[in-house]
Chains A and B, each alone.
Chain A
């Protein structure tokens, strides 16, 4: 499986600001994904990021709030914009390598909005 890293591991941000989360994979992958995990809850897919095309967002998530970049086959960023306390969550990226069904997760970014 690929090694996936995320930066930052955690951050505390003020309401109204934005946070950009970076996800790095140690091998080239076609598909990268961004998930949100609210405290004590399950994982919810935010969007799929494919290199060379616009991200595909799931119902309830919009590009203005969660802009995503995918500049190459090993890197993606997720920005959480105009932060409110409800955005306090863990944000995880994942990717599929080789076997396109198997997904592996990064360590997550814990965001607290004050």
Chain B
């Protein structure tokens, strides 16, 4: 079955620096890769996603890149701010299924002012 590996598990950056979180997946049939941000005590929030027919997608300070050949995708946050501090989860849809998501273990991002 699908396996999603996420690195690093923790990441600490200075305000204004960039942060990069990487994920790999095992199922070549996966074609949808979302990223969620979860603040302490709150629900996961979808912040950006990418489909397998696209190599990169940007939304203001956030971007996601996908390398289908290598089966990895990354989240890039530029000009980090303290409010970016949270746990970030990547996910992939096994067997290209509509709806089912397998999540990575999460990355705790701390942005120091």
Contact = CB atoms under 8 A, between A and B. Distances in A.
A12 interface: no
A43 B43 contact: no
B106 A102 contact: no
Contacts of B62: none
- Decide if the interface of chain B is mainly helix, strand, loop or mixed: loop
Contacts of A48: 99-100
A92 B43 contact: yes
Contact of B43 (A42, A96, A108): A108
Interface of B: 1, 32, 34, 42-46, 49, 51, 89, 93, 98-106
A100 B1 CA distance: 21
Interface in A30-53: 31, 33, 41-45, 48
A101 B44 contact: no
B34 A102 contact: yes
Given A31-B98, A43-B44, A45-B101, A101 B49 contact: yes
Nearest to A31: B99
A41 B103 CA distance: 10
Given A102-B34, A107-B42, 14 more contacts: A41-B105, A41-B106, A42-B105, A42-B106, A43-B44, A48-B100, A92-B44, A96-B98, A100-B98, A100-B99, A101-B99, A103-B34, A107-B43, A108-B43
A92 B95 CA distance: 23
A104 B34 CA distance: 11
B43 A45 contact: no
